[in-house]
A and B are shown apart, each in its own frame.
Chain A
Amino acid sequence: DQQVKQNSPSLSVQEGRISILNCDYTNSMFDYFLWYKKYPAEGPTFLISISSIKDKNEDGRFTVFLNKSAKHLSLHIVPSQPGDSAVYFCAASTSTGNQFYFGTGTSLTVIP
Chain B
Amino acid sequence: GAVVSQHPSRVICKSGTSVKIECRSLDFQATTMFWYRQFPKQSLMLMATSNEGSKATYEQGVEKDKFLINHASLTLSTLTVTSAHPEDSSFYICSALGSWETQYFGPGTRLLVL
| Interface residue ranges, A against B (CB under 8 Å) | 1-2, 5, 9, 34, 36, 41-46, 49, 87, 89, 91, 98-102, 104-105
Contacts and interface: CB of A to CB of B under 8 A. Distances in A.
A105 B103 contact: yes
Interface of B: 1-3, 9-10, 36, 41-46, 91, 93, 95, 100, 102-105, 107-108, 110
15 contacts: A2-B1, A2-B2, A2-B104, A44-B36, A45-B43, A45-B44, A46-B43, A98-B110, A100-B91, A100-B105, A100-B108, A101-B105, A102-B95, A104-B2, A105-B103
A2 B3 contact: yes
A86 B32 CA distance: 20
Given A43-B43, A49-B42, A9 B100 contact: yes
Given A44-B36, A98-B10, A98-B108, 17 more contacts: A1-B3, A2-B2, A2-B3, A9-B100, A36-B43, A36-B44, A42-B46, A43-B44, A43-B46, A45-B43, A49-B42, A100-B93, A100-B107, A101-B105, A101-B107, A104-B104, A105-B102
